[in-house]
Amino acid sequence: DEYLVSQREGQEGALPWEDTLSLMRPVLAALHCAHSLGIVHRDLKPSNVLLDQSAGIPGVPKVADFGIAKVLGSDAGMTGTNARMGTWGYMAPEQFRGAKHVDPSADVFSLAMMTWEMVAGRLPIDLDDQRAVLMMYEGLEPIQRLDAVAQCPVWMADIVEQGLAL
């Protein structure tokens, strides 16, 4: 198995938007199913989407690692009020502030960030710059539109922008 953002045949960099869309469709379907069952993943990131290459390259994406998933309406007590669970750069701002009360929109943010990364070939922020990360999560630093940094249709950039809306 390979991770979602690692490129076919070991190539690095951005994927064409059409390939990104093809890879993200099964991920969207899996999350739609999880959300319809009241499950929020809370840790969507490229390394938690595996490519099953038994059917050939690039492979069929499979959402993995529901280890910190939340069942909506459940009060299992596993998440503290202000606990940060997830991965910087992919977790939604509301999740950054506290993972206890997230809903499916947190996964939508993660999917939009992954899509941005796949099409642009990088994340819109430098994860090593803690100030930039904090400013993004506080809504003080807007995330650049995807079509300003990579070639993709306006409608795709609009969808990604909606998913990243703070």
CA-CA distance, 32 to 28, in Å (whole number)? 6
Radius of gyration over every alpha carbon of the chain, rounded to an integer in angstroms: 16
Active site residue 158: no
Strand boundaries in 11-92, DSSP class E: 39-40, 49-52, 60-63, 70-71
Beta carbons within 8 Å of 134's beta carbon, 6+ residues apart: none
Of 135, 70, 143, 151, which Cα lies nearest the Cα of 112?
Answer: 143
Q: Which of 1, 19, 43, 103 is catalytic?
A: 43
Residues catalogued as catalytic: 43
